[in-house]
Structure 1
Amino acid sequence: MNIWIFNHYATTPAHVGGTRHFDLAKHLSDKGHQVTIFASSFNHFSKKEMVFHNKENHSEIEWINGIRYVWINTPAYNKSLGRVKNILSYTLKSYKIAMAACEEESPDIVIGSSVHPLAAIVGYLVAKKASCKYYFEERDLWPQTFVDFGKISASNPLALVLYKLESFLYEKAERVIVLFDKAKHYVESRGVDAGKVIYLPNGVNLDKYEQLEPTLRVDEMFKGLENKFVVAYIGSHGVANHLDPVIDLFSKLREHPDIHLLLVGSGAQKQELMKRVQEEELSNVTFEDPVPKAQIPYLLSKAQMGIISILDTPLYKWGFSMNKIYDYMAAGLPIAMVANPDLTGSLRSVKGIYVQDQLEELQQVIVNSSGSAQMRREEGEFLQEYVRKHYSWEVLGDQLESVMLNDVEGVSRNEKAV
C-alpha cells in the first residue's frame, strides 16, 4: 500500500517531540508498504527549525529509515499569532505540494491527523483528488474539550462551526482513528457507526529499549546522581502537566537525600517551577532541557522510577494516551502517578503502577520502592511484558494494517496470508 499521512507536528527520533507517526510508518514500511509523512519543518516542541536553515525552498524530501518525509517550510513562532501564521502556511503549502504529487503517484490511503483540523481537511481534499480511502485521525476532540473545560459553550458560534467541521470529516472518512479509550464513545454519540471507529493509542518502539545507544548528553545529566534513587519525569512542563504536586511530593521527601527527582523537558511553567525549587532550597530536584526522542531509552535506563501527574480536569474526560507512560513501561520502570484514581481507568490496577491523589501515600510508595531492588525488578519485568502485549508498535501497527488491507483490497490480513 501507498500511505500518506498529514501531521503538521510530526517529528523523527532525532528531534524533540513524540514520534507516533514515525514509529507507525517504520513498522508499516518494514512490512513492505510505502509511507509518506507531510510535516512542518519548524519543531513545535523545541521551537527550532529542523530543515530549512537559510533555505528558501517551499518543501524538501528526506528519506529516513525507509520513510519519505515531505518537510514543509513554515515560519518560526513563539506566540499565538505566529502559530496561526505557521498553521496557515503548512495548510496552504502542504495542500499545493500534495495535489501536485497526485499527478505523479496515487496513494491508497490518506490519513489526516487533527492536531489542528486544517491538516485533516488537507488530507480529505488530497484523498478526494486521488480517489482513495480517507482516514480521519482525531487526536484532540475539538471543540468538545473546550466545551468540557467551560472555555466556550456548546452553542458558541465557534463551537458550532467546529462541530460542523468535525461531523463533515466523520461523514467523509472511511475510518475515524481515536487515541483515547473513551473517545470512541464520544464519536459514536455523534451518530458515527461504531464499526467505523479505530482505537489506536500511542505506543512505543521496543527495539530502542533493547539496543541502548549511550550519549554524552545523558551521561552529563546523571553526573552526581550515580548513587541516587532517581525518579524521572520526561515531557512538557505546562499547566496541564500539573507538576506543582510533584514538587510538593519531593519537598516532603527531602528527608531522604538519596531519592532524587529529575525533570527533563520544557514548557510555559518550567521557569516558575525552577524558581520555586530554588526558593525552597530543594537540593533533591534537578531540571534539564529536553532531549531528542532517540535519547529517551538510554536516559530512562539510568533511572529507577518514572513519575507523572494528571490534572483532575475535563481534559481527561475521554481518556488519555501519554507517550511517557509507555516509555516508562518499556524501560522497566515502576510508575508513580499523582492522579485521581478514577481518571486512570484500568492502569490503576496494573502491577508496578501506583496511582494516588494523597501525596503522603505516594511518598511511602517511593520510599518503599527505593529500598527494594527485587520488587522494582519484578514490577519492571511485568510492565515490559504488559507494554509489549498492549502498546508496542508491532502490535498496534499490525492492527491498523489489517484494517487498511481490508479496506483497500477487500481481504483481511489473515486471509491474504493464506
Structure 2
Amino acid sequence: MKILFINHFAGIPQKSDASLRHFNIARLQQRDNHQCSIITSSKSYQSKQKINTPQIFFDEIEYFFIDEFDSNKKNLFIKLLRMFSFSINLFWYFKKNYEKHNPDIVYASSPDLMTCLVAYYFSKKKHAKFVFEIRDIWPKSQVDLHNFSEKNPIIIFLKKIEIFLHNKSDKVVSNLPNYHNYLKKSAFSVNNYIHLPQFLDIKYYNKNYTECNISKEHQKIFHSFDHVCIFAGTIGSYYGINFMIDSIQSFNSSSDKKLALILIGDGDYRTKAENYLKKNNINDVFIIGTKNKSYLFNLIKKCSFSILSFPEKEIYQYGIASLKMFDYLYSGIPILMIGPFDKYSILKKSKNQFKSKFGILNEMLNEYHKLCNLDKAKRNEIKEDYKNILEKYCSAKTIKKELKEIFK
C-alpha cells in the first residue's frame, strides 16, 4: 500500500524536529511493508532553515518539498499568508507532477485547512482514500484564542472547509484526547473517527537525541543559581511569559534559594521580553534561541523543573496534546502545569501534579517553593511516573491497533 502524508508543517529529521509525528507514523507503516512519503514545506515554521532540494530521503521515508511565501515575521497574518501560498503551490505541484504520486491513502493534517482541501481533491482524482487529521481545531482556535469574530470572512471561509472535510473524509483522526466531544457538539459523524494519541518513538529518541556539551555561557546559569526552571517552545504573549518573568522576581525577593528561568525558543513576544529584561536590569531570566533537540534535552535535564502554560479557554475541553509536554515527560523532570493541563491532557494520569491557575501569582510561587524543595528520592519517583505514562499511553507500541484501523 502507498501512503502519502501531506502536512504543511511536518517535522523533518535533523532539520526541524519539533514534531516528527508523521515521520514516525510513516516509519511504523514502512515496517508493515507500506510505501510512505511526506509532502511538506521547504521552509520550516519552527526554524529558519530552507530545504533547497525538491526531494530527499530520511531513514527510507521520502520527503517532497513545496515552496511558500517566506517571511521572518511570526504572527497570525503571516501564518495565513503562508498557508494560502503553500496550498496554491501544492495545487500546481500536483498539476505538474500528476503521475509522480499514486497513493492508496492520502493522509492530510491540520491546521492548514486549505492544504487539506487540495489534498482531498487530489485523493479523489487518484481514487484514493482520504484521512483528515485534526491536531489544532481551526478555525475555532482562532476565535477562542486570538479573538477573531465568527463573522470574519476568513473564519467563515475556513469553517466551510472544515465542515466539508469532516463530511467527505473516509476517516477522521485526531491526537486531541476529547475530540469526539467536539464532533458531537458540531453534529459531525463519529462513526469514522479514530483517536490516534500523540506519541513518542522512544527508541528513536534514545538513539538520535544523545548527550552533547552545553555551552559555557549556558553552564554558567546552572552554576550561578540554586535552581533553574525552563519554558521551551513558542515565546508568545499568549502563554503568559510576562507572568513567569514577574513571578521569578517575586520568588527571588522572598526566598533564600535563588531560581533562574530559561525561555528557549522563538515567537512574537521574544523581542518584547528581551527589551523588558534589559530595561529592568533583570538578571535571573535568560532567553535562548531555538536549538536542536539533542541540545534542548540536555538543557532540560539539567533543570529543576519545567513549565507548561496555557490560559483557561473553552477550546481546551476537547484536549491538549502540547508537543513540549511530551518532551518534558521524556526528559523526566517535574512539570509545573499553569492552566488546564491536569484536566484535559495526558498529565491527568500523573500521580505527581504541580499546578497553578494561569496568571495567579501566589499559586505559582507556592508551586515554585514545592518544586525547589523536592529531594532526590521524590525526583526519581516523578521520573519513573513520567516514564510509565509514556510507555503505557504514548509509545509507538500502544497505537498499533489505531494505526491498523486507519490504514486498513
Q: Answer whether contact 1:15 1:293 (CA < 8 A) is retained.
A: no
**1:239 partner amino acid:** S
**Which of 380, 385, 391 pairs up with 1:382?**
385
Matched, 1:68 2:68: no
Give the 3 Å change call, closer, same or farther, for CA 217–122 of structure 1 in structure 2. farther
Aligned to 2:311: 311
Q: Answer whether contact 2:4 2:37 (CA < 8 A) is retained.
A: yes
**1:365 partner amino acid:** E
Give, in whole Å, the separation in 2 of the partners of 1:256 and 1:229.
Answer: 11
Matched, 1:106 2:102: yes
Matched, 1:136 2:132: yes
**1:316 partner amino acid:** Y
Structure 1 position 208, deviation (Å): 5.0
Aligned to 1:215: 212
List aligned pairs for 1:158-177, cutoff 5 A.
158-177=154-173
Q: Answer whether contact 2:234 2:267 (CA < 8 A) is retained.
A: yes
**2:328 partner amino acid:** Y
Give the 3 Å change call, closer, same or farther, for CA 203–165 of structure 1 in structure 2. same
After superposition, give the CA deviation of every residue in 1:240-286 in whole Å (9 maximum; x if it has no partner).
Answer: 22222222221122134443221111111112222333344433221
Structure 1 position 22, deviation (Å): 2.2
Give, in whole Å, the separation in 2 of the partners of 1:309 and 1:326.
Answer: 14
Give the 3 Å change call, closer, same or farther, for CA 120–219 of structure 1 in structure 2. farther
Q: Answer whether contact 2:297 2:331 (CA < 8 A) is retained.
A: yes
Structure 1 position 224, deviation (Å): 4.0
Structure 1 position 148, deviation (Å): 3.8
Q: Which runs of 5+ in 1 are unaligned?
A: 53-58, 407-418
Give the 3 Å change call, closer, same or farther, for CA 67–351 of structure 1 in structure 2. same
**1:276 partner amino acid:** Y
Structure 1 position 317, deviation (Å): 4.2
Secondary structure of 1:222 counterpart:
helix
Structure 1 position 40, deviation (Å): 0.8
After superposition, give the CA deviation of every residue in 1:95-127 in whole Å (9 maximum; x if it has no partner).
Answer: 333455552452121111122211101211121
Aligned to 1:38: 39
TM-score under structure 1 length normalisation = 0.85
Secondary structure of 2:176 counterpart:
coil
Moved over 6 A (4+): none
**1:364 partner amino acid:** N
After superposition, give the CA deviation of every residue in 1:23-43 in whole Å (9 maximum; x if it has no partner).
Answer: 322333344332211111112
Structure 1 position 309, deviation (Å): 1.2
Q: Answer whether contact 2:231 2:264 (CA < 8 A) is retained.
A: yes
Give, in whole Å, the separation in 1 of the partners of 2:101 and 2:153.
Answer: 40
Structure 1 position 329, deviation (Å): 0.8
Structure 1 position 318, deviation (Å): 2.8
Q: Answer whether contact 1:13 1:293 (CA < 8 A) is retained.
A: no
Q: Answer whether contact 1:110 1:127 (CA < 8 A) is retained.
A: yes
Aligned to 1:414: none
After superposition, give the CA deviation of every residue in 1:59-116 in whole Å (9 maximum; x if it has no partner).
Answer: 6110011211101133421356765554343223323334555524521211111222
Structure 1 position 374, deviation (Å): 1.1
List aligned pairs for 1:223-242, cutoff 5 A.
223-226=220-223, 228-242=226-240
Give, in whole Å, the separation in 2 of the partners of 1:306 and 1:154.
Answer: 35
Structure 1 position 134, deviation (Å): 0.2
**Which of 347, 367, 370 pairs up with 1:368?**
370
Give, in whole Å, the separation in 1 of the partners of 2:259 and 2:77.
Answer: 42
Secondary structure of 1:43 counterpart:
coil
Which deviates more from structure 2 when the two are superposed, residues 287-296 or residues 362-371?
Answer: 362-371
Q: Which runs of 5+ in 2 are unaligned?
A: none
**1:66 partner amino acid:** E
Aligned to 2:26: 25
Aligned to 1:411: none
List aligned pairs for 1:277-296, cutoff 5 A.
277-296=277-296
The total of aligned residue pairs comes to: 398
Structure 1 position 200, deviation (Å): 2.5
Q: Answer whether contact 1:6 1:122 (CA < 8 A) is retained.
A: no
**Which of 186, 189, 205 pairs up with 1:190?**
186
Give the 3 Å change call, closer, same or farther, for CA 295–126 of structure 1 in structure 2. farther
**2:220 partner amino acid:** K
Which deviates more from structure 2 when the two are superposed, residues 295-304 or residues 133-142?
Answer: 295-304
Aligned to 1:55: none
Aligned-residue RMSD, C-alpha: 2.7
TM-score under structure 2 length normalisation = 0.87
Give, in whole Å, the separation in 1 of the partners of 2:132 and 2:163.
Answer: 11
Secondary structure of 2:39 counterpart:
strand
Secondary structure of 1:306 counterpart:
strand
Structure 1 position 346, deviation (Å): 6.5
Secondary structure of 1:76 counterpart:
coil
